Structure 1
Amino acid sequence: MIQGIQYVLYVGLIISSVCSLVFSFRSRRSSDGTLRGLYNAKMNISMGAMLIILALIQMFLFTGSSLRVVIGALFMVLGAFNIFAGIRNHSNFSRRKAG
Protein backbone atom coordinates (compact mmCIF):
# COMPACT_ATOMS: atom_id res chain seq x y z
CA MET A 1 0.00 0.00 0.00
CA ILE A 2 2.74 2.47 1.00
CA GLN A 3 4.80 1.48 -2.02
CA GLY A 4 1.86 2.19 -4.34
CA ILE A 5 1.43 5.65 -2.83
CA GLN A 6 5.17 6.20 -3.26
CA TYR A 7 5.01 5.33 -6.96
CA VAL A 8 2.00 7.58 -7.53
CA LEU A 9 3.67 10.52 -5.77
CA TYR A 10 6.96 10.07 -7.63
CA VAL A 11 5.20 9.76 -10.99
CA GLY A 12 3.18 12.88 -10.19
CA LEU A 13 6.38 14.69 -9.24
CA ILE A 14 8.05 13.75 -12.52
CA ILE A 15 5.01 14.71 -14.60
CA SER A 16 4.58 18.07 -12.87
CA SER A 17 8.31 18.81 -13.18
CA VAL A 18 8.31 18.03 -16.90
CA CYS A 19 5.16 20.12 -17.45
CA SER A 20 6.71 23.02 -15.55
CA LEU A 21 9.85 22.80 -17.67
CA VAL A 22 7.93 22.61 -20.96
CA PHE A 23 5.68 25.55 -20.12
CA SER A 24 8.68 27.55 -18.95
CA PHE A 25 10.43 27.06 -22.31
CA ARG A 26 7.22 27.84 -24.22
CA SER A 27 6.71 30.99 -22.18
CA ARG A 28 10.20 32.24 -22.89
CA ARG A 29 10.03 31.39 -26.61
CA SER A 30 6.63 32.95 -27.28
CA SER A 31 6.58 36.40 -28.84
CA ASP A 32 2.86 37.01 -28.21
CA GLY A 33 2.22 38.52 -24.77
CA THR A 34 -1.09 36.72 -24.25
CA LEU A 35 0.37 33.30 -25.06
CA ARG A 36 3.36 34.08 -22.85
CA GLY A 37 0.98 34.84 -19.97
CA LEU A 38 -1.03 31.66 -20.56
CA TYR A 39 2.12 29.51 -20.61
CA ASN A 40 3.41 31.27 -17.53
CA ALA A 41 0.12 30.60 -15.73
CA LYS A 42 0.28 26.91 -16.68
CA MET A 43 3.87 26.82 -15.44
CA ASN A 44 2.73 28.27 -12.09
CA ILE A 45 0.00 25.64 -11.79
CA SER A 46 2.48 22.86 -12.58
CA MET A 47 5.04 24.24 -10.15
CA GLY A 48 2.39 24.52 -7.43
CA ALA A 49 1.42 20.89 -7.97
CA MET A 50 5.09 19.91 -7.83
CA LEU A 51 5.57 21.74 -4.52
CA ILE A 52 2.48 20.14 -2.98
CA ILE A 53 3.63 16.69 -4.10
CA LEU A 54 7.08 17.38 -2.63
CA ALA A 55 5.42 18.39 0.63
CA LEU A 56 3.38 15.19 0.69
CA ILE A 57 6.50 13.13 0.06
CA GLN A 58 8.32 14.95 2.86
CA MET A 59 5.51 14.66 5.36
CA PHE A 60 4.21 11.15 4.78
CA LEU A 61 6.91 8.95 3.31
CA PHE A 62 9.83 9.71 5.60
CA THR A 63 10.21 9.49 9.34
CA GLY A 64 8.72 12.52 10.97
CA SER A 65 10.85 15.18 12.51
CA SER A 66 9.59 18.62 13.38
CA LEU A 67 11.89 20.31 10.84
CA ARG A 68 10.64 18.01 8.06
CA VAL A 69 7.02 18.77 8.94
CA VAL A 70 7.66 22.55 9.01
CA ILE A 71 9.42 22.48 5.64
CA GLY A 72 6.64 20.29 4.22
CA ALA A 73 4.00 22.71 5.47
CA LEU A 74 5.92 25.63 3.97
CA PHE A 75 6.12 23.85 0.59
CA MET A 76 2.40 23.08 0.79
CA VAL A 77 1.47 26.73 1.44
CA LEU A 78 3.79 27.95 -1.32
CA GLY A 79 2.40 25.35 -3.73
CA ALA A 80 -1.20 26.29 -2.92
CA PHE A 81 -0.35 29.96 -3.54
CA ASN A 82 1.26 29.08 -6.89
CA ILE A 83 -1.80 27.08 -7.96
CA PHE A 84 -4.15 29.89 -6.91
CA ALA A 85 -2.09 32.56 -8.72
CA GLY A 86 -1.76 30.35 -11.81
CA ILE A 87 -5.51 29.74 -12.02
CA ARG A 88 -6.21 33.46 -11.55
CA ASN A 89 -3.69 34.46 -14.22
CA HIS A 90 -4.92 31.76 -16.59
CA SER A 91 -8.48 33.04 -16.36
CA ASN A 92 -7.32 36.63 -16.94
CA PHE A 93 -5.19 35.79 -19.97
CA SER A 94 -7.77 33.45 -21.49
CA ARG A 95 -10.36 36.25 -21.28
CA ARG A 96 -7.88 38.57 -22.96
CA LYS A 97 -7.27 36.04 -25.71
CA ALA A 98 -11.00 35.47 -26.30
CA GLY A 99 -11.90 39.16 -26.28
Structure 2
Amino acid sequence: MDQLLQWFFAPGIMITLVLSVVFSFKGRREQAHNIRGLHTARMNISMGIMLIFIAGVQLLLSAESTMRIVIGALFLVLGIFNLFAGLRNHSIFRKRIEQEKM
Protein backbone atom coordinates (compact mmCIF):
# COMPACT_ATOMS: atom_id res chain seq x y z
CA MET A 1 0.00 0.00 0.00
CA ASP A 2 2.85 2.38 0.83
CA GLN A 3 4.42 1.75 -2.57
CA LEU A 4 1.16 2.67 -4.31
CA LEU A 5 0.91 5.89 -2.31
CA GLN A 6 4.52 6.74 -3.18
CA TRP A 7 3.71 6.35 -6.88
CA PHE A 8 0.80 8.74 -6.35
CA PHE A 9 2.44 11.38 -4.14
CA ALA A 10 5.88 11.69 -5.79
CA PRO A 11 4.67 12.56 -9.31
CA GLY A 12 1.94 14.76 -7.85
CA ILE A 13 4.49 16.76 -5.89
CA MET A 14 6.83 17.06 -8.89
CA ILE A 15 4.10 18.10 -11.33
CA THR A 16 2.66 20.73 -9.01
CA LEU A 17 6.17 21.99 -8.21
CA VAL A 18 6.89 22.52 -11.92
CA LEU A 19 3.50 24.21 -12.41
CA SER A 20 4.14 26.52 -9.46
CA VAL A 21 7.50 27.59 -10.89
CA VAL A 22 6.10 28.08 -14.41
CA PHE A 23 3.17 30.20 -13.22
CA SER A 24 5.49 32.16 -10.95
CA PHE A 25 7.76 33.08 -13.87
CA LYS A 26 4.78 33.89 -16.10
CA GLY A 27 3.28 36.08 -13.40
CA ARG A 28 6.51 37.98 -12.82
CA ARG A 29 7.08 38.65 -16.51
CA GLU A 30 3.53 39.72 -17.35
CA GLN A 31 2.88 43.46 -17.69
CA ALA A 32 -0.93 43.43 -17.55
CA HIS A 33 -2.18 43.50 -13.97
CA ASN A 34 -5.18 41.19 -14.45
CA ILE A 35 -3.24 38.51 -16.32
CA ARG A 36 -0.46 38.74 -13.72
CA GLY A 37 -3.07 38.14 -11.01
CA LEU A 38 -4.47 35.19 -12.95
CA HIS A 39 -1.02 33.57 -13.18
CA THR A 40 -0.40 34.25 -9.49
CA ALA A 41 -3.74 32.64 -8.62
CA ARG A 42 -2.80 29.58 -10.67
CA MET A 43 0.54 29.47 -8.85
CA ASN A 44 -1.31 29.53 -5.51
CA ILE A 45 -3.59 26.70 -6.62
CA SER A 46 -0.60 24.60 -7.69
CA MET A 47 1.27 25.38 -4.49
CA GLY A 48 -1.77 24.51 -2.39
CA ILE A 49 -2.14 21.13 -4.08
CA MET A 50 1.60 20.53 -3.65
CA LEU A 51 1.39 21.29 0.08
CA ILE A 52 -1.57 18.93 0.41
CA PHE A 53 0.47 16.18 -1.28
CA ILE A 54 3.41 16.87 1.06
CA ALA A 55 1.03 16.70 4.02
CA GLY A 56 -0.21 13.35 2.72
CA VAL A 57 3.35 12.06 2.66
CA GLN A 58 3.92 13.23 6.22
CA LEU A 59 0.65 11.85 7.54
CA LEU A 60 0.36 8.58 5.60
CA LEU A 61 3.82 7.36 4.62
CA SER A 62 5.97 8.21 7.61
CA ALA A 63 6.33 6.53 10.95
CA GLU A 64 3.84 7.95 13.38
CA SER A 65 5.41 10.54 15.61
CA THR A 66 4.02 13.68 17.14
CA MET A 67 6.35 15.97 15.20
CA ARG A 68 5.42 14.43 11.82
CA ILE A 69 1.72 14.69 12.59
CA VAL A 70 2.09 18.35 13.60
CA ILE A 71 4.12 19.17 10.48
CA GLY A 72 1.70 17.25 8.27
CA ALA A 73 -1.28 19.03 9.80
CA LEU A 74 0.44 22.40 9.34
CA PHE A 75 1.18 21.67 5.67
CA LEU A 76 -2.40 20.50 5.21
CA VAL A 77 -3.84 23.71 6.66
CA LEU A 78 -1.47 25.89 4.61
CA GLY A 79 -2.24 23.89 1.47
CA ILE A 80 -6.00 24.18 1.90
CA PHE A 81 -5.68 27.92 2.57
CA ASN A 82 -3.51 28.40 -0.54
CA LEU A 83 -5.87 26.31 -2.66
CA PHE A 84 -8.99 28.23 -1.65
CA ALA A 85 -7.28 31.63 -1.88
CA GLY A 86 -6.01 30.73 -5.35
CA LEU A 87 -9.45 29.56 -6.48
CA ARG A 88 -11.06 32.73 -5.16
CA ASN A 89 -8.49 34.99 -6.82
CA HIS A 90 -8.68 33.01 -10.06
CA SER A 91 -12.43 33.59 -10.30
CA ILE A 92 -12.02 37.30 -9.49
CA PHE A 93 -9.32 37.91 -12.10
CA ARG A 94 -11.07 35.76 -14.70
CA LYS A 95 -14.22 37.90 -14.32
CA ARG A 96 -12.14 41.07 -14.65
CA ILE A 97 -10.52 39.80 -17.85
CA GLU A 98 -13.91 38.85 -19.29
CA GLN A 99 -15.27 42.32 -18.44
CA GLU A 100 -12.30 43.95 -20.22
CA LYS A 101 -13.04 41.96 -23.38
CA MET A 102 -16.61 43.24 -23.55
Q: Deviations over 1:24-69 (max 9, x none)?
A: 0000000111110000000000000010000000111110100100
Give me the CA root mean square deviation. Answer: 0.6
Per the alignment, residue 60 of structure 1 pairs with 60
Secondary structure at the aligned position of 2:64 is classed as: coil
Per the alignment, residue 78 of structure 1 pairs with 78
Where in structure 1 are there 5+ consecutive unaligned residues?
none
2:6 is the counterpart of 1:6: yes
Per the alignment, residue 25 of structure 1 pairs with 25
TM-score normalised by structure 1 residue count? 0.98
Q: Distance in 1 between matches of 2:2 and 2:55?
A: 16
Q: Deviations over 1:63-82 (max 9, x none)?
A: 01001001100100000000
Which structure 1 residue ranges, 4+ long, deviate > 2 Å from structure 2? none
Per the alignment, residue 16 of structure 2 pairs with 16
Where in structure 2 are there 5+ consecutive unaligned residues?
none
Give 1:15's aligned amino acid. Answer: I
Identical amino acids, percent of aligned pairs: 52
TM-score normalised by structure 2 residue count? 0.95
Give 1:54's aligned amino acid. Answer: I
